[in-house]
Amino acid sequence: MKRILIAECSQEIASFNPVPSQLESFRLATPAQLFAEHRPLRTEISGALHHFDSRTDIELVAGFGARSITSGGTTSAEAWKFISESFLDSIRAADKVAKLDGIYFCLHGAMGADDQLDPEGFLLVETRKIVGEQIPIVASFDLHGVITDPVLKNCDSITVYHTYPHIDLYETGERSAKLLLKIMDGKAKPVTVRVRIPALVRGDELKTKTGIFGQRVAEAVAIENSDKGLSGGIFIGNPFTDVPDLSSNVIISTNDDEKLAVDTATKIAAEFWRDRAKLQAFLTAVPDAVAQACAAKSGTTILVDAADATSSGACGDSNVVLAELIKQGYSGTVLAPLTDPAAVAAAFKAGVGNDVTVNVGGALDPRYTPIEVTGKVQMLSDGEFNNEAEGEPWHAGNCAVLKIKNITLVLVSKPVSLHNRSLFFAHGLFPEKFDLVIVKSPHCQDHMYKSWATTYINVDAPGSTSANLPTLGHTICRRPVFPLDANVEYVPEITVYRR
């Protein structure tokens, strides 16, 4: 029997969110819990388990798991200490029982802690100290990951999501398992090439199904699926994670064919650089966006406030668009989410059916000024519901639905991902029944909003995850980088990795 260890450490942070992520921001799993928690879901680990289960000569060994409930601010030193020590202790325990033959790690790439700006690289370096240099390691990543030298030096190969919005978590886990077994069976000798691109990107052209970025990803996938290919993809980084290695990268891993990896990665990177200006968000100022909404004659208007996207790491407490709707006297029905634990508590105190006057907005991020509103409490809940995409449980804390004249406000106590409609559905609210919906996510799957909305506007609002990247205030990442700096020159940086 070949023993394969599986462990997880996955979080995406926004360095510009002033609220640190604490341990309660994570879904933690002991080795005894890890597999049981993932098997019913559509996650990377469930995909890997499904493939490993097809082999009768494999013994699976569970390690520690830490997966963020939603993205947030930089992880506190205390939380990182617990997670990293638990993660590495589980590897030591597994290695002590008997020799490991392979390791699969489910990582992210855009994590960051107060005292560790490359958590994934640190975990891989420390893992090598425990298990040695010979055991093959394959790790999977989000394409928003910030890929680093310690990661690539200590993995035999890596995999990365091929879709944005992300719908291939399960498939990425399957690909990772297949790749690891191919290496363990002696059928693959990976050579991995990274080409760094000094560019940060956002915007609609990143949607892999319809955008320019999808064309570049398809080229990488074609190499992965070729006779000599093992893995391929593009990391666009997370521009809200201000760390030294922040950039975009093309990664190609082949079966002992360095020339193929270098040639294809270099070609794809050059095409990506050529398209960099198109791979930016086109935004409308808040007053202009609301004016357009006021002028809309029918259907539903979607105002996308990606600057306050909780799935990207923001707090979800921006009231900027809401305040402008009130200021301009928008008369249609509005559906909007907002993080505000004090307002939720006041609603619970008032009770369903009663009026309450509260300040909303700016509960966590001081850049927003609270506004006073009076409304009727329509519904109270415990904020426990399942993600409509992967089915995993989400925890928003106590929630309240507040009706303020024409505005229906869904108040949550804790930031919860808003890249789909789960929060609305959990409270019996259906976006298509409203004249206007504030969506706090840069992109959702088209069927959720864009395919049926009459008007769809990306708003240039302030926030810790603003797609107006030069306004964020990067101080740590390597410069120059487009679009933070002018006249950035592109000189391909090609690095080859073998173990």
pLDDT tens, position by position, 121-162: 999 999 999 999 999 999 999 999 999 999 999 999 999 999
By DSSP bridging, strand 301-304 and strand 455-460 are parallel
**What's the confidence (pLDDT) of residue 249?**
98
Provide the H-helix boundaries in 44-168. Answer: 44-52, 77-97, 119-131, 149-154
Query: 104 or 297: whose pLDDT is higher?
Result: 104
Distance, in Å, from the CA atom of 310 to the CA atom of 67, rounded to the nearest integer, reads: 15
Residue 360 has pLDDT above 90, yes or no: yes
Instruction: Show the domains of the chain with their CATH numbers.
Output: 2-279+493-498 (3.40.50.2300), 284-468 (no CATH)
What confidence category does residue 467 fall into, taking pLDDT thresholds of 50, 70 and 90? very high
Distance, in Å, from the CA atom of 333 to the CA atom of 59, rounded to the nearest integer, reads: 56
Whether 212 and 278 have beta carbons less than 8 Å apart is answered as yes
Write out pLDDT tens, residues 402-460.
Answer: 999 999 999 999 999 999 999 999 999 999 999 999 999 999 999 999 999 999 999 99
CA dist 436 → 291, 311, 336, 421 (Å):
12, 21, 9, 14
Burial of residue 182 (number of CB atoms within 10 Å: 0-12, 13-18, 19+):
middle
What confidence category does residue 391 fall into, taking pLDDT thresholds of 50, 70 and 90? confident
In three-state secondary structure terms, 428 is: coil
Distance, in Å, from the CA atom of 102 to the CA atom of 96, rounded to the nearest integer, reads: 14
Distance, in Å, from the CA atom of 108 to the CA atom of 10, rounded to the nearest integer, reads: 5
Per the structure block, which two tokens stand in for 168? 């291939």
Distance, in Å, from the CA atom of 212 to the CA atom of 278, rounded to the nearest integer, reads: 8
**What's the confidence (pLDDT) of residue 303?**
98
Write out pLDDT tens, residues 226-258.
Answer: 999 999 999 999 999 999 999 999 999 999 999
Q: What pTM was computed for the model?
A: 0.95
Residue 184 has pLDDT above 80, yes or no: yes
Whether 417 and 314 have beta carbons less than 8 Å apart is answered as no
Neighbour count for residue 114 (Cβ, 10 Å)? 16
Token pair 């202009």 in the structure block, residue: 288
Residue 340 has pLDDT above 80, yes or no: yes
- Maximal CA-CA distance, the chain: 70
Residues of the chain above pLDDT 90, percent:
98
Q: Distance from CA of residue 202 to its chain's centroid?
A: 13
Write out pLDDT tens, residues 22-49.
Answer: 999 999 999 999 999 999 999 999 999 9
What confidence category does residue 308 fall into, taking pLDDT thresholds of 50, 70 and 90? very high
**What's the confidence (pLDDT) of residue 203?**
95
Whether 490 and 198 have beta carbons less than 8 Å apart is answered as yes
CA dist 379 → 162, 180, 409 (Å):
39, 49, 11
What does pLDDT average to over the chain? 97
By DSSP bridging, strand 229-235 and strand 190-197 are unpaired
In three-state secondary structure terms, 478 is: coil
What are residue 341's phi and psi, to 5 degrees? -60, -35
What confidence category does residue 392 fall into, taking pLDDT thresholds of 50, 70 and 90? confident
Residue 270 has pLDDT above 80, yes or no: yes
Where in 289-368 does DSSP place strands (E)?
301-304, 334-339, 355-360
**What's the confidence (pLDDT) of residue 389?**
78
In three-state secondary structure terms, 272 is: helix
What are residue 83's phi and psi, to 5 degrees? -65, -50
Distance, in Å, from the CA atom of 465 to the CA atom of 440, rounded to the nearest integer, reads: 10
Q: Walk across the sheet containing 301-304 and list its strands.
A: 284-285, 455-460, 301-304, 436-439, 334-339, 407-412, 399-404, 371-381, 355-360
Which of 142, 69, 42 lies closest to 397 in space, CA to CA? 69
Nearest-5° Cα angle at 311, 305 to 315: 70
Name 203's bridge partners: none
Write out pLDDT tens, residues 108-122.
Answer: 999 999 999 999 999
Q: Distance from CA of residue 160 to its chain's centroid?
A: 12
Q: Which amino acid is at 477?
A: C
Distance, in Å, from the CA atom of 308 to the CA atom of 81, rounded to the nearest integer, reads: 28
Residue 390 has pLDDT above 90, yes or no: no
pLDDT, average across residues 163-179: 97
Token pair 């892999």 in the structure block, residue: 208
Which of 419, 417, 409 lies closest to 448 in space, CA to CA? 419
